[in-house]
């Protein structure tokens, strides 16, 4: 437990610190919900220490976050949104005016007003939640679509560059550090057989057909706050991986995390299929706000789920071959189970691709 009273003094709080507690289910940053007394009224804030072992340059992370949230707030205010400060994260400035503060031990901290009357969910409970989450992510991209100025920092270089993920897999196969390649040959062959899929979106980006956009890059349901009264998706959170990318990567990760019929590390792949009703909810929610998509993006929307699932399976397989050095595991062979799970879901996506493309066409009025 950090000294949150001391941390509070690093920011322009304009309120008196009362107490703080560990908050949320995140595994990377240290997050606290702090109670303050502001002129006789109780008010809450989020204090968060960025994990500089994961984010090697946390200052650049915060420069991205500050630009994106400031632009989103300005846009919402210009539109006259009556809940502008509830619809986006806003950074409380440090004493020196920066969107972050450095404590005596060299840790980087940030502070956000707590968004009341809303909560996140670790697992999707119904299709309406999928619709609202996708709608919120589309709205987030829409808010940042006209962000001006210099390109955002690429805080994790080549994060969704799938051909380079495949190259990393080949390097892991060649070195075989943990002596596991022979037992994973079927999965290695599966990935190699889809090499052409790996470069489809990167080739479209290189040609200019698919534009680079501001993207979130971690579009799980628990990164959207849903209103407790209306169940509406109101605010996208956890912006550490916000950087330049393709809108297709964000939608593809929504499909990968929300549309499977079982969890991503279920070792029994016979359980895995595509929930087409859930996929339909994702498409309808996303397209209701992502009105900026061009023809090439719409044409590859269904494929994007296949791509990101393939990429994630490749990453799990690579880590398994390298001796489980990146993803945390709970049992021997956990990363191989995850890989097999992702590849089974990928097969299900391939089998249902025609139906998925029809869903996108129906929602976007673009012929399949």
CATH number of the domain enclosing 75: 3.30.200.20
- Residue 122 domain-assigned (yes or no): no
Please list the residues that pair with 19 across neighbouring strands: 35
Query: What is the pairing mode between strands 41-49 and 243-245?
Result: unpaired
- In angstroms, how far is CA 356 from the centroid of its own chain? 22
* Same structural domain, 319 and 297: yes
201 touches 246 (CB < 8 A): yes
Query: pLDDT at position 35, please?
Result: 98
The contacts of residue 200 (CB under 8 Å, 6+ apart) are: 300, 303, 307
Instruction: Among 96, 116, 136, identify where a domain stops.
Output: 116
DSSP string covering 70-137: HHHHHHHHHTT-TTGGGSS--PPPBTTS-S-EE-TTS-EEEEEE--TTEE--SS--SHHHHHHHHHHH
The contacts of residue 365 (CB under 8 Å, 6+ apart) are: none
- Residue 278 domain-assigned (yes or no): yes
Q: 107: closest CA among 25, 52, 182, 44?
A: 52
* Same structural domain, 174 and 293: yes
- In angstroms, how far is CA 48 from the centroid of its own chain? 18
* Same structural domain, 159 and 223: yes
- Residue 121 domain-assigned (yes or no): no
Query: pLDDT at position 209, please?
Result: 98
For residue 333, how many other CB atoms are within 10 A of its CB?
16
The secondary element (H helix, E strand) that includes residue 324 is none
% of the chain surpassing 70 pLDDT: 99
Query: pLDDT at position 368, please?
Result: 43
* Residue 351 lies in domain: 127-364
Instruction: Report helix, strand or coil for 264.
Output: coil
Instruction: Among 116, 144, 165, identify where a domain stops.
Output: 116
CATH number of the domain enclosing 229: 3.90.1200.10
Q: What is the C-alpha separation between 254 and 37, in angstroms, rounded?
A: 39
pLDDT one digit per residue (tens) for the chain, 368 residues: 689 999 999 999 999 999 999 998 776 899 999 999 999 999 999 999 999 888 889 999 999 999 999 999 999 999 999 999 999 999 999 999 999 999 999 999 999 999 999 999 988 889 999 999 999 999 999 999 999 899 999 988 899 999 999 999 999 999 999 999 999 999 999 999 999 999 999 999 999 999 999 999 999 999 999 999 999 999 999 999 999 999 999 999 999 999 999 988 888 999 899 999 999 999 999 999 999 999 999 999 999 999 999 999 999 999 999 999 988 889 999 999 999 999 999 999 999 999 999 999 999 985 44
* Same structural domain, 66 and 140: no
Query: pLDDT at position 263, please?
Result: 86
* Same structural domain, 148 and 253: yes
Instruction: Among 116, 138, 171, identify where a domain stops.
Output: 116
- Residue 134 domain-assigned (yes or no): yes
Query: pLDDT at position 266, please?
Result: 86
Q: 295: closest CA among 209, 354, 207, 204?
A: 209
- Residue 154 domain-assigned (yes or no): yes
Domains of the chain: total: 2
* Same structural domain, 355 and 279: yes
* Same structural domain, 284 and 348: yes
Q: What is the pLDDT of residues 26-72, one digit of tens each?
A: 768 999 999 999 999 999 999 999 998 888 899 999 999 999 999 99
């Amino acid at each position: 437990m950090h000294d949150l009273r001391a941390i509070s003094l690093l920011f322009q709080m304009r309120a008196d610190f009362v107490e703080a507690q560990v908050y949320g289910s995140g595994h990377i940053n240290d997050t606290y919900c702090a109670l303050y007394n502001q002129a006789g009224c109780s008010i809450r804030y989020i204090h968060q220490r960025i994990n500089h072992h994961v984010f090697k340059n946390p200052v650049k992370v915060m420069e991205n976050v500050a630009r994106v949230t400031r632009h989103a707030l300005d846009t919402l205010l210009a539109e006259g949104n009556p809940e502008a400060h509830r619809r986006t994260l806003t950074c409380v400035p440090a004493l020196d005016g920066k969107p972050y503060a450095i404590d005596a031990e060299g840790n980087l901290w940030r502070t956000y007003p707590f968004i009341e009357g809303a909560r996140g969910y670790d697992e999707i409970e119904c299709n309406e939640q999928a619709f609202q989450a996708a709608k919120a992510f589309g709205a987030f991209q829409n808010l940042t679509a006209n962000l001006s100025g210099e390109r955002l920092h690429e805080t994790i270089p080549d994060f969704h560059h799938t051909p380079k993920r495949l190259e990393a897999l080949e390097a892991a196969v060649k070195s075989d550090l943990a002596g596991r390649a022979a037992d994973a040959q079927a999965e290695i062959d599966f990935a190699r057989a889809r090499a052409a899929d790996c470069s489809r979106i990167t080739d479209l980006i290189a040609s200019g057909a698919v534009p680079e956009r501001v993207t979130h890059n971690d579009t799980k349901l628990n990164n959207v706050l849903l209103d407790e009264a209306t169940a509406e998706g109101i605010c996208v959170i956890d912006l550490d991986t916000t950087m330049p990318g393709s809108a297709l990567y964000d939608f593809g990760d929504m499909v990968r995390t929300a549309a499977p019929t079982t969890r991503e590390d279920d070792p029994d792949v016979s359980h895995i299929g595509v929930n087409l009703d859930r996929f339909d909810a994702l498409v309808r929610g996303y397209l209701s706000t992502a009105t900026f998509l061009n023809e090439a993006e719409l044409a590859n929307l269904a494929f994007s789920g296949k791509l990101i699932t393939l990429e994630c399976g490749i990453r799990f397989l690579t880590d398994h071959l390298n001796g489980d050095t990146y993803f945390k595991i709970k049992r021997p062979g956990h990363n191989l189970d995850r890989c097999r799970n992702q590849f089974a879901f990928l097969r299900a996506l391939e089998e249902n691709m025609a139906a998925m493309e029809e869903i996108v066409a129906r929602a976007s009025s673009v012929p399949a």
